[in-house]
């Protein structure tokens, strides 16, 4: 499980790390985001079965942190930090269906939470655009920074054109 963030407001180059979700107490893959977010969960379901396969938890008691829980029904894979049991979704949850072939890349691409859904922000006028990769090829963490920086540069160029 991984994520790419496209935001016109901030860019970061951080590695994911094991973090403890303060709500469930589970240790899993986590990232510190460069902006505050609306807490809550994005629940990804399998298209064929409707079964919950991934939970992306924003906030979790620490605004600006995102936790990944993935593949609860498959044996853990070496080096895959998000595999394991899923926590109970929070009250502020959005349920989305994964897209893409099971062999990957699949997940949910282009999630724009606005200013009230999990992962959204009230800090900036612009909202982030998330790509959640469940299986298959995904950008490395350093690529996230390049992608976010590209979005930031495009936003600044567009803003400069308006002046």
pLDDT in tens, the chain (163 residues): 555 555 444 444 456 788 899 899 998 888 888 778 889 999 999 998 999 989 999 985 556 889 999 877 776 666 677 778 899 999 999 999 999 887 778 888 889 998 889 998 877 677 788 888 776 554 444 444 444 444 444 444 444 555 5
Report the distance separating Cα 102 and Cα 70, nearest Å.
Answer: 14
pLDDT value at position 131? 84
Q: For position 16, what pLDDT does the model report?
A: 78
What is the predicted pLDDT for the residue at 84?
Answer: 81
In b/e form, how buried is each residue of 52-66, taking b as 16+ CB within 10 angstroms? Answer: bbbbbbbbbebebbb
- Name the strand (E) or helix (H) holding 159: helix 141-162
> Which two structure tokens, joined as six digits, stand for 90?
């929070």
Q: Are 31 and 138 in contact (CB under 8 A)?
A: no
Q: What is the Cα–Cα distance from 144 to 133, expressed in whole angstroms?
A: 12
pLDDT at res. 150: 46
Report whether 24 contacts 87 (CB < 8 A): yes
For the whole model, what pTM was predicted?
0.74
Mode of pairing for the β-strands spanning 93-97 and 40-45: parallel
- Angle CA 102–105–108, to nearest 5: 90
Q: Which of 98, 132, 92, 97 is nearest to 112 (CA)?
A: 132
| Beta-sheet strands, E only, within the chain | 2-6, 17-20, 27-32, 40-45, 52-58, 65-70, 93-97, 106-111, 129-135
């Amino acid at each position: 499980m991984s994520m790419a963030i496209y935001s016109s407001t901030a860019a970061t180059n951080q590695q994911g790390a094991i973090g403890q979700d303060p709500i469930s107490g589970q240790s899993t893959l986590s990232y510190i985001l460069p902006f505050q977010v609306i807490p809550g969960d994005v629940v990804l379901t399998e298209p064929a079965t409707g079964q919950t396969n991934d939970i992306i938890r924003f906030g979790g008691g620490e605004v600006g942190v995102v936790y990944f829980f993935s593949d609860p029904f498959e044996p853990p894979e070496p080096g895959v930090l998000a595999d394991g049991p899923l926590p109970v979704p929070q009250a502020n949850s959005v349920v989305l269906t994964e897209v893409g072939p099971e062999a990957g890349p699949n997940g949910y691409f282009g999630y724009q939470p606005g200013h009230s859904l999990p992962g959204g922000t009230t800090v900036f006028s612009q909202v982030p655009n998330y790509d959640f990769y469940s299986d298959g090829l995904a950008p490395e963490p350093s690529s996230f920074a390049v992608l976010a920086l590209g979005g930031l540069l495009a936003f600044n160029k567009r803003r400069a054109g308006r002046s």
